[in-house]
């Protein structure tokens, strides 16, 4: 952590000390018999010892002993720290051997060069901050990242102090730095270890070859009621046997068998739902280690359950009033209680149609909830897909007639039997067809085609609508698809229909997609294998389109 | 006339069902607002078909049916459930519990009578 600290409180004697340091530095260097490399660290020490040196001038009775002692201190400091002096223009004028060793530069590479060579672009503002302190006569202390000659970065704890000439004018600065890169790494390692240890989630580290437990954090140990020393000599299988955790150990072994480095899964462990993540950490010199992270997801599971229950309850509660509303309107429209005036009939039809829409929305929300929780169920049986197409087509006749649409079917002459869920297929077909009706121009043409291949059946619904703009195509199967650029957003619906269709077809082991051309029309299709068992719909996020 | 015992806690839905079924002139209808009241009603009325709402405060439709099955005169009476939870799993569950048919809500009042007739064959 960088900190700027003003040392000006030391007062005038300190400033004088700084001036004095420059002079004394050379004298002391001679005293120590230094030749090529001058122990410039001494300058900092001299500056720090200014009051002492001043007293030496004031009391010249013991000059030699003071100078000698100071000189020894300079050597010690010079051994300890990297030191450099820069002039007022930030040009390096002197560096010590430690400086050269740590930076990797040769003396001739840096003397006469701006000190900025030591800073990378990210540290330029730090350099300006330091210069500001120096210009105000303040000493700066803090951590500075420096650039090594090979481009790598290292970190120093620095004291940088202004220097003054004999007239008391600011003449540059002197820096003494200690390399703290390794210390930082150790601190980071210690912090990481501490964080892991304190983490709420359980962590195990297991030697990959011996399967011996190498480490367990506090949470993991306390789950087994173990003391810190209790993991010594314990093996992963001890946990497996003790707490039915053999599945975790198996997941570790599988990583090596399959040549993978990571796997994650959910399981009930010790009676609680856990998200288990297993990572293989390869080590060139050893057999490697498994890092096992066990995250207790009881809270999320409970929240999901509550959300699911809430959605389900609200949706079902909405059905009761809707039953009364739709039922009343249905009876009125059927003239069961007498003939209505034509205008009243017309208005009632609108209300009835919109009550139907509400039912669809509720159904969509319930389906969505089932998809999210992975509970969408299928009732698969042998069915004739052509019969389902005819049934769906008949169910949409009303809307087709309303818009005077010409609906053509092809490929439905001969029964095509496959094992699938007929209700869910009807749901998908109804969605395709009602979309095609909504987006067709009045008196437009819709083509429903069934194509039979050896292994698969492809069912498509083609309209002559406006097509889907390219920027909206990736959103088509997303939940609550907001397709602001197309007229699809003006056609009503929940924006859930196609995402539900995708979940259904995925769940039945098929694929779904569309072809579209702006201004020409769109074809939605699904392909189902003839003999595939359905796969359970997995919880999904916004299902992205599998666009053809 | 086919005698129907309709158990439904929602008064509006009872009225719609009544209008729908009585208009056809083929059904005689007795309606109850709870399973408990239905069990009392069957002391004086022996229906040909039971039309039971599934979700009701107090006894559910399923619990009501279980108790009715213990009455010898009703042990074989066809039972039709009406439910707002008409998902595949729930329907299967109701069939397992002895439902001859499951009508999902909202139902079509115009075709309610014919649906019941279909169950009765």
Q: How far is CA A107 from CA A36, A76, A92, A111, in A?
A: 11, 21, 10, 6
**Which of the pair, A462 or A369, is modelled with greater confidence?**
A462
Contact between A336 and B10 using a beta-carbon 8 Å cutoff: no
Query: In angstroms, rounded to a whole number, what is the distance separating the alpha carbons of residues A35 and B34?
Result: 109
The dihedrals phi and psi of B30, each to the nearest 5 degrees, come to: -120, 130
State how far residue A213 is from chain B, nearest Cα, in angstroms.
45
Chain A CB within 8 Å of residue B121 CB: no
DSSP state letter for A320: H
Contact A103, A149 (CB under 8 A): yes
Question: What domains can you pick out in chain A, each with its CATH number?
Answer: 3-178 (3.30.450.20), 199-296 (3.30.450.20), 305-372 (1.10.287), 381-529 (3.30.565.10)
Locus of tokens 């490929």: A411
Q: Give me the residue from B16, B84, B89 closest to A327, CB to CB.
A: B16
Q: Can you tell me the ipTM of this complex? A: 0.82
> How many other CB atoms sit within 10 Å of the CB of residue A399?
15
On whether any CB of chain A is under 8 Å from the CB of B73, the answer is no
- Which pLDDT tens digit goes with each residue over A166-209? 888 888 899 999 988 887 777 777 777 777 777 788 888 888 88
The count of other CB atoms within 10 Å of the CB of residue A273 is 16
User: Is A336 at the interface with chain B, CB within 8 A?
Assistant: yes
Which residues of chain B have a CB within 8 Å of the CB of A325?
Answer: 106
Nearest CA in chain B to A356: B106
Contacts A322 to B, Cβ<8 Å: 105-106
**pLDDT above 70 for A254:** yes
Q: What is the mean pLDDT of chain A?
A: 79
- The pLDDT of residue A481: 58
**What pLDDT sits at residue B113?**
93
Residues 6+ apart with CB under 8 A from A317: B84
Which of A330, A420, A508, A537 is most worth mutating to test chain B (most B CB atoms within 10 A of its CB)?
A: A330
The alpha carbon torsion through A249, A251, A256, A261 (nearest 10 deg) reads -120
Burial class of residue A503 in the structure, from the number of CB atoms within 10 Å of its CB (0-12 exposed, 13-18 middle, 19+ buried): buried
Question: Residue A421: closest CA among chain B residues belongs to which residue?
Answer: B88
Residue A217: C-alpha distances to residues A64, A223, A269, A277, A505 (Å): 60, 10, 17, 15, 44
Q: What is the CATH number of the domain that holds B70?
A: 3.40.50.2300
| Whether B9 contacts chain A with CB within 8 A | no
Strand pairing report for A170-179 and A202-207: unpaired
What is the C-alpha end-to-end distance of chain A, expressed in Å? Answer: 55
Q: What is the total count of domains within chain B? A: 1
Q: Does B80 touch chain A (CB under 8 A)?
A: no
Contacting residues of A for B88, CB less than 8 Å apart: 377-379, 423
Rounded mean pLDDT of A135-158? 89
| pLDDT bracket for residue A244 (50, 70, 90) | low
Confidence label for A33 from pLDDT (cuts 50, 70 and 90) = very low
List, for residues A286-338, the tens digit of each pLDDT value.
788 888 998 999 998 888 888 878 877 887 788 888 999 999 999 999 988 88
Supply A486's token pair.
Answer: 């197309």
Residue A323 to residue B23, Cβ atoms within 8 A: no
3-state SS track over A310-359: HHHHHHHHHHHHHHHHHHHHHHHHCCCCCCCCHHHHHHHHHHHHHHHHHH
Which of chain B's residues have a Cβ under 8 Å away from the Cβ of A370? 87
pLDDT tens-digit map of A40-62: 444 444 444 444 444 444 444 45
Residue from B13, B77, B69, B15 nearest B39 by CA: B69
Contact call for B106 and A377, based on CB within 8 A = no
Closest partner CB to B110 (pick from A322, A324, A334): A334
Contact B10 A316 (CB under 8 A): no
Q: How many CA atoms lie within 13 A of A388 on its CB side?
A: 25
* pLDDT at position A465 over 80: yes
A322–B106: do the CB atoms touch at under 8 Å? yes
> In the predicted model, what is the mean pLDDT of residues A486-500?
65
- The parent domain of residue B11 ranges over 2-120
Q: Mean pLDDT across the stretch A473-489?
A: 65
Q: Is the peptide bond before A190 cis (omega within 30 degrees of 0)?
A: no
Q: Which chain A positions have a beta carbon within 8 Å of B85's beta carbon?
A: 312, 316
In chain B, how long is the greatest CA-to-CA distance? 36
């Amino acid at each position: 952590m960088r900190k700027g600290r003003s040392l000006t409180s030391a007062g005038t004697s300190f400033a004088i000390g700084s001036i004095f340091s420059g002079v004394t530095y050379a004298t002391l260097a001679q005293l120590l018999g230094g030749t090529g490399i001058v122990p410039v660290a001494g300058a900092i020490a001299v500056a720090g010892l200014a009051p002492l040196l001043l007293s030496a001038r004031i009391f010249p009775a013991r000059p030699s002993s003071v100078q000698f002692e100071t000189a020894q201190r300079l050597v010690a400091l010079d051994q300890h720290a990297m030191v450099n002096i820069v002039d007022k223009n930030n040009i390096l004028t002197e560096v010590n051997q430690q400086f050269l060793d740590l930076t990797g530069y040769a003396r001739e590479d840096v003397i006469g060069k701006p000190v900025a060579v030591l800073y990378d672009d990210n540290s330029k503002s730090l350099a300006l901050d330091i210069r500001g302190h120096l210009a105000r006569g303040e000493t700066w202390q803090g951590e500075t990242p420096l650039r090594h000659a090979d481009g790598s970065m290292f970190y120093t704890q620095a004291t940088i102090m202004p220097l003054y000439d004999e007239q008391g004018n600011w003449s540059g600065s002197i820096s003494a730095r200690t390399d703290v890169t390794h210390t930082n790494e150790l601190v980071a390692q210690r912090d990481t270890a501490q964080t892991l240890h304190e983490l709420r989630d359980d962590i195990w580290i297991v030697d990959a070859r011996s399967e011996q437990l190498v480490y367990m954090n506090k949470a993991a140990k306390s789950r087994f009621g173990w003391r810190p020393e209790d993991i010594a000599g314990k093996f992963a299988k001890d946990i497996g046997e003790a707490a039915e955790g053999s599945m975790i150990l198996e997941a570790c072994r599988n990583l090596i068998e399959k040549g993978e480095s990571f796997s994650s899964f959910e399981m009930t462990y010790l009676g609680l739902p856990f998200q288990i993540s297993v990572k293989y950490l390869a080590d060139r010199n050893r057999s490697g280690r498994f890092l096992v992270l066990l995250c207790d997801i009881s809270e999320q599971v409970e929240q999901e359950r509550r959300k699911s229950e809430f959605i389900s309850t609200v949706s079902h509660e909405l059905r009761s009033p809707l039953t009364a509303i739709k039922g009343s309107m249905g009876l009125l429209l059927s003239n069961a209680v007498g003939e209505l005036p034509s205008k009243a009939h017309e208005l009632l039809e609108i209300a009835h149609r919109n009550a139907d829409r509400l039912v669809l929305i509720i159904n969509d929300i319930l389906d969505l909830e089932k998809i999210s929780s992975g509970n969408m169920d299928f009732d698969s049986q042998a069915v004739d897909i052509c019969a389902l197409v005819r049934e769906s087509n008949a169910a949409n006749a009303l809307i087709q007639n309303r818009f005077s649409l010409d609906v053509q079917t092809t490929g439905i002459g001969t029964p095509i039997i496959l094992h699938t869920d007929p209700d869910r297929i009807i749901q998908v077909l109804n969605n395709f067809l009602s979309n095609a009706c909504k987006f067709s121009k009045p008196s437009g043409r819709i083509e429903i085609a069934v194509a039979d291949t050896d292994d698969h059946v492809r069912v498509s619904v083609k309209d002559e609508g406006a097509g889907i703009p390219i920027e909206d195509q990736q959103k088509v199967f997303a939940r609550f698809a907001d397709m602001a650029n197309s007229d699809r957003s003006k056609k009503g619906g929940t924006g859930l229909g196609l995402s539900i269709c995708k979940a259904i077809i995925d769940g039945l082991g098929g694929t779904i997609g569309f072809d579209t051309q702006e201004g020409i029309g769109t074809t939605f299709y699904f392909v189902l294998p003839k003999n595939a068992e359905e796969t359970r719909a997995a919880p999904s996020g916004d299902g992205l389109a599998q666009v053809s | 006339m086919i005698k129907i015992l309709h158990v439904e806690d929602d008064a509006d839905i009872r009225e719609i069902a009544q209008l729908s079924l009585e208009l056809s002139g083929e059904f005689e209808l007795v309606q109850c607002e709870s399973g408990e009241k239905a069990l009392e009603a069957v002391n004086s009325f022996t229906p040909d078909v039971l039309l039971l709402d599934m979700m009701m405060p107090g006894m559910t439709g399923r619990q009501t049916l279980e108790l009715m099955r213990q009455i010898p005169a009703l042990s074989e009476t066809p039972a039709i459930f009406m439910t707002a939870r008409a998902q595949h799993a729930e329907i299967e569950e109701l069939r397992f519990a002895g439902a001859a048919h499951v009508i999902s809500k909202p139902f079509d009042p115009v075709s309610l009578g014919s649906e019941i007739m279909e169950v009765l064959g």
